[in-house]
Amino acid sequence: MGSSEETVISLFTFPPTFGLRNVSPFCLRVEMALTHLDIPFEIVLESNPAKGPKNKLPFIISNNEIIDDSELIYLHLDQLTDGQLFEGLSPTDYGIGCAFTRLVDDHLYWLIVASRWLDDDWFPNVYKGFFGAFPPVVRDLISALARRQMRKTLDLQGLGRHSLNQQKAFARRDLQALANVLTDSRYIVGNKLSVFDFSITSMLSGLLDNVPGTWVTAIGQEFPELQHYADRIQAEVGVYGRTKP
């Protein structure tokens, strides 16, 4: 696709961890969109999300303008390319794609977070991956405070108030909903690659390619069609979530 060659965008994203090139599906989807649109960009690794304008990643710098949040970045890229990012989507396609994006972003994502941060057996991977670079004298304190804050966030979100078995059932239903569509369809909407494939694939890569696997990974493996879909989309775009394609 065409692009504005004079525009060089800086994409601020997490460094590799958990077998992933970056731990955030929201960062990955922006990278996929930039690559798909053939917009020149550079990746800037940033391990501290507090350096983002809203204390989170990703954000981009485009023509000296800072844009944060993957959805807002999508809109900026669509404007930058005269509508190419959402090109060809019917109103129905847009509605379905938006609904599935909300499912993975506002529900499934938090179950992935819970499987990493709330699981006592898995949390040592978070400890090593996120806090291993801190001096030993403060590592335990910082990681404990961060975990306590994450518990509070998940409680406020609502999913953290459910039992583990209930969380697993929620995840299975989310993934089944995706599998119901993708068993017979090459793409999440329509008959060609779209921006919504980036959103769905980035989340699936985050849960399926996570190393070592979490309990969400195990549930995801019950749906091989989701792995096939995620692999196919990543190959088509040429951007992979895992460190070793």
The model's pLDDT over 25-59, given as tens digits with 9 standing for 90+, comes to: 999 999 999 999 999 999 999 988 989 999 999 99
**pLDDT at residue 1, as a whole number:** 42
Tokens standing for 135?
A: 């001096």
**pLDDT at residue 7, as a whole number:** 60
Mutual orientation of helices 25-36 and 195-208 as an angle, nearest 10°? 140
Q: CA 80 to CA 188: how far, in whole Å? A: 24
Segments of the chain with pLDDT less than 50:
1-5
**pLDDT at residue 133, as a whole number:** 87
Q: CA 83 to CA 76: how far, in whole Å? A: 10
**pLDDT at residue 6, as a whole number:** 59
**pLDDT at residue 8, as a whole number:** 85
Domains of the chain: 9-80 (3.40.30.10), 91-237 (1.20.1050.10)
Query: Could you tell me how many residues make up the chain?
Result: 245
Strands lying side by side in the sheet with 59-62? 41-45, 9-13, 59-62, 65-68
What's the alpha-carbon Rg for the chain, to the nearest Å?
18
Cα within 13 Å of Cα(235), Cβ side: 7
Alpha helices in the chain (DSSP H): 25-36, 70-80, 91-103, 109-117, 123-131, 136-157, 164-182, 195-208, 215-220, 224-237
Mean pLDDT, the chain, as a whole number? 95
**pTM of this prediction?**
0.94
Name beta bridge partners: 45.
13
